[in-house]
Structure 1
């Protein structure tokens, strides 16, 4: 009997998996099982090398549906993500995303449909890697700015915690809107917009108070 399995991943111990599960259920998915990796980087660690990622590879069977919030939950490395999705499709697994409601199905036989599907997979995998690199650069800039201003007045204490900032950054990278991010993080829309407009300054402000 086929099942619908949600794979979730958070890259820091401060993030939680709750909003990924909630988003999937709100989108109408009936989840039979959740497989999740905690505190695992999608850049540094391939899905097949993660503890629960290995379990996912063993667990999925032909006819199953794999649900992920977005393709970056599988990884943020272009080659790893494209290889993973294509391997699952060859095994008869359907991959569906919560954000944008995309479906990747290896059962397609029409050459044009296959070409469009494969191009979309490549584009989304490349976007996931680019967003990861942009986030990393913003974090680096924030840390450098905090070091440079370390001896100066720290300014107003940020209204967000490290966990909340990590949630906002992760959901922004996924392409989520301001309102869903505010609900998931517990912050105001104005705060989310400020972080979105200048992530480096948001990192720096928090670092000064830490």
Structure 2
């Protein structure tokens, strides 16, 4: 473990959740972290790490070479595997030791840690490809069975637009009357009319 300062980063997705359990688990693992070095935020996991306000401030203004950053789980460091890899590389380049408690090798900056991350990355890529293949197979099967694939058509929107159009309203007046945006009105303007 480095002799520098130790920070903890805790994240939850919704305001109903709390980061208290994450911090408790980190401290129970033997990391004594001063309260002013605990960074917590509520932000969706789909947001890239460096776009999260508290995390960005931590990386850009608080962490220095020799410091360690502890997280309970690897997914706290990014929205997906690629983002996690990018975040870890950025921390290591800064001289910060990233530590994730859910991994057998906690120090992600060590050569063993990097090797493990590369293996995780390969597995994640394999899983992404399998999901993509299954999705495409499912869509092909649905098409073969004559089912519609994709978003359902907004028939209620079309009906409303065409009703106002039949009353002689212009596209902009239909938009004002329905509350739809002008591009939405334009998209539905000629639907339902068969083109021969």
| Aligned equivalents of 1:68, 1:7: Cα separation in 2 | 6
Show CA shifts across 1:44-84 (max 9, x none).
Answer: x1111111011111211000000000110112312111011
Counterpart among 105, 108, 125 of residue 104 in structure 1: 108
| Aligned equivalents of 1:35, 1:124: Cα separation in 2 | 26
Gapped runs of 5+ residues in structure 2? 132-196
Q: Spell out the pairing of 1:168-207 with structure 2 (5 A cutoff).
A: none
Following superposition, the deviation at residue 118 of structure 1 comes to: 2.5
Structure-2 change in CA distance of 1:92 and 1:28 (3 Å)? same
Counterpart among 118, 124, 127 of residue 122 in structure 1: 118
RMSD: 2.6
Counterpart among 27, 31, 38 of residue 34 in structure 1: 38
Contact 2:49 2:79 in 1 (8 A): no
Larger Rg: 2
Counterpart residue number, 1:57:
59
Gapped runs of 5+ residues in structure 1? 109-113, 135-210
Question: Normalising by the residue count of structure 2, what TM-score does the alignment of the two structures yield?
Answer: 0.55
Question: Normalising by the residue count of structure 1, what TM-score does the alignment of the two structures yield?
Answer: 0.52
| Aligned equivalents of 2:71, 2:124: Cα separation in 1 | 13
